[in-house]
């Protein structure tokens, strides 16, 4: 019966407990703010990358290629104001968001990449490069 109950005989330090709690709570907080979720599906002749970017407009999204890296960035600034008859603020809201990710596109035809954005999902088609065929030949020994 006693083997079914978890029993930890280690001594616990209250400060250590709170330190671990804080680290686990805030760990990844900055990552979640700056990154976005993606799915990559392999098909016969291409990869399809689907990125979740809800709340953005097409104009807010920037896709660039730097060497063998595909960079996706999305940023928006939005400010809404509502005033009453006396020009006093009834409500003022600001929203700012910045997301960025990079992907290695080695083996992808960079000039054939296409993108579309619908209902908060950015979809990129990444055509595969044809594998280079190595020629057979003999080498003369001198």
- Whether the per-residue pLDDT at 114 is higher than 70: the answer is yes
Q: How many CA atoms are closer than 13 Å to the CA of 81, on its beta-carbon side?
A: 5
In this predicted model, what pLDDT tens digit does every residue of 7-62 receive, in sequence order? 455 555 555 655 565 555 545 444 444 578 999 999 999 999 999 998 888 999 99
- The CATH number of 34-127 is 2.60.40.790
Q: In what order do the strands lie in the sheet with 121-127?
A: 38-42, 46-52, 121-127, 114-118
**4-13, 32-41, 105-114, 131-140: range with highest mean pLDDT:** 105-114
Q: Which residues of 121-140 are buried (b: 16+ CB within 10 A; e: fewer)?
A: ebebebbeeeeeeeeeeeee
Q: What's residue 22's pLDDT?
A: 53
Range scoring the smallest mean pLDDT among 1-10, 20-29, 87-96: 1-10
Of the two residues 64 and 17, the one the predictor is more confident about is: 64
Question: Contact at 8 Å (CB) between 128 and 47?
Answer: yes
Q: Taking the model in full, what pTM does it have?
A: 0.61
Beta strands in the chain (DSSP E): 38-42, 46-52, 61-66, 69-83, 89-104, 114-118, 121-127
What confidence score (pLDDT) does residue 86 get?
74
Domains in the chain: boundaries: 34-127
């Amino acid at each position: 019966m006693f083997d079914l109950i978890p029993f930890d005989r280690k001594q616990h330090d209250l400060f250590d407990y709170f330190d671990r709690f804080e680290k686990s709570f805030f760990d990844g907080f900055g990552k979640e703010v700056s990154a976005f979720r993606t799915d990559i599906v392999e098909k016969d002749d291409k990869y399809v990358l689907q990125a979740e970017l809800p709340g953005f407009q097409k104009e807010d999204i920037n896709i660039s290629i730097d060497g063998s890296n595909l960079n996706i960035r999305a940023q928006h600034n939005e400010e809404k104001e509502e005033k009453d008859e006396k020009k006093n603020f009834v409500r003022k809201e600001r929203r700012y968001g910045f997301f960025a990710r990079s992907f290695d596109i080695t083996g992808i035809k960079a000039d054939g990449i296409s993108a579309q954005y619908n209902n908060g999902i950015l979809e990129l088609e990444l055509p595969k490069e044809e594998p280079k065929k190595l020629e057979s030949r003999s080498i003369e020994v001198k």
